[in-house]
Amino acid sequence: MQDITSDWIQFLARQGARFSASAPSEVTGFEGVAERGGERGDDPGSELIPLSDLGLIAASGAEAANFLHNQLTNDVLHLPEDQARLAGYCTPKGRLLATMLIWRSGDDILLQLPREILPAILKRLQMYLLRTKASLRDVSADTVLLGLTGPAAAAALAPDFPAAAALAPYAKCDSAAGSLMRLADANGVPCYLWQASPEAAIAAWPRLRETLTPAPAAAWRLAQIRAGIPQVVGATQELFVPQMLNYDVIEGINFRKGCYPGQEIVARSQYLGKQKRRMLAATLPGLEAPAPGTEVFSSADPGQPCGVIVNAAAAPDGRAECLVEIKTAALEQGTVHLDSAQGPALVFGALPYPLPEPA
């Protein structure tokens, strides 16, 4: 089958997109567009972001929903057509192999996750299909994902999705142009995810560029960090029980559903009330964004790490903004530093949602 996504990648290249040498599908910037801040000073925060570094798994068949319901942390059986949900995929020890966004598209259920880990997750899920009346396939080559952020996003989407402005977070609507989901706001800024065919995305791009600034994949990561939504990548697989990434708070776990890999450990962590580790927001003034999986250390206990960087991205003001999984007690005993107790100090701030008080 023809790799349709290559047409999209070639189109982006003609629009001045630059791509990562280490991850060829990831857009790192656009020629003629400032690295951050955009082309239009009147609305620098409204961005158009190709998410070609993210991929999609499609599950189809009569028993697809039941199969995924028994594999993921959230309710798939009762997933409405007009809603998207966060979900996790765990090992039997309750450690996250992947975090994902899930939604229905026609007869399929789609799982969005980083392309970096998609092949291994797909292979692992397929191992458990056995005689299930379902199939799983990588459809990343057949669709385009676009992130649209900022105050101008809803108006830009209106010709294809008239209901865009009225969508609540995690609501979804469909049209001939594809599927549109509003995700969690980033510091009060709306964020939309558009799933489109390559043809629809190519046709819409010139119109979208009239009011939105093309931006790299890192701009979407920054928006998700500001929304407090984590993403497990290759370097952080099997490091976290879902609650360590606040999945119990952001509705990525359904505690009333049946069993799934690691369910007993996830439930025990919840009901014993021992949430001594949480994901928090932090900044690193004047530094490049550290890689996910980078350890952090407390000045009060420099001999061992007290946490790890989950995600990080550069902000327009020159800081690196991060999501950090950490022992909450470490914040009461000293300062927290990157790489070692002598490294740069992290400045912790507020998440956009409240966390339960630690036990």
Residue 165 reports pLDDT greater than 80: yes
Torsion sign across C-alpha atoms 251, 256, 260, 265: positive
Task: Supply the mean pLDDT for the chain.
Answer: 93
Residue 40: pLDDT band (50, 70, 90) is: very low
Instruction: For 23-49, give one letter per residue: b (16+ CB within 10 A) or e.
Output: eebbbebbeebeebebeeeeeebbbbb
State the DSSP string of 150-169.
STTHHHHHTTT-TTGGGPPT
Nearest by Cα to 243 from 253, 231, 257, 258: 253
Residue 82 reports pLDDT greater than 80: yes
| Each residue's pLDDT tens digit, 110-141 | 999 999 999 999 999 999 999 999 999 999 99
pLDDT of residue 300: 94
pLDDT of residue 25: 86
Class of domain 276-359: mainly beta
pLDDT of residue 42: 39
pLDDT of residue 1: 32
Which ranges of 171-300 does DSSP label H, i.e. alpha helix?
A: 198-209, 217-226, 263-271
pLDDT of residue 5: 53
Nearest by Cα to 20 from 50, 55, 56: 50
Cβ atoms 298, 335 nearer than 8 A? yes
Residue 287: pLDDT band (50, 70, 90) is: confident
pLDDT of residue 269: 86
Cβ atoms 221, 23 nearer than 8 A? no
61-66: average pLDDT: 97
Residue 23: pLDDT band (50, 70, 90) is: confident
Tokens standing for residue 181: 């989901």
1-272 maps to CATH 3.30.1360.120:
yes
Local structure of 298: helix, strand or coil: strand
174-182: average pLDDT: 97
What are the sequence ranges of the domains in the chain?
1-272, 276-359
Residue 22's region, left for phi above 0, alpha for psi from -120 to 50, else beta, is alpha
Beta-bridge mates of residue 309: 324
DSSP state of 186: B
Tokens standing for residue 298: 């407390």
CA distance 159 to 164: 10
Residue 97 reports pLDDT greater than 60: yes
Residues of the chain above pLDDT 90, percent: 86
pLDDT of residue 43: 42
pLDDT of residue 32: 87
Q: Is-same-fold flag (1-272; 276-359)?
A: no
pLDDT of residue 37: 42
For the ranges 43-47, 107-111, 206-210, 300-304, the lowest mean pLDDT is seen at 43-47
279-292: average pLDDT: 94
Local structure of 104: helix, strand or coil: strand
pLDDT of residue 22: 87
Residue 212 reports pLDDT greater than 60: yes
For the ranges 11-15, 39-43, 97-101, 167-171, the lowest mean pLDDT is seen at 39-43
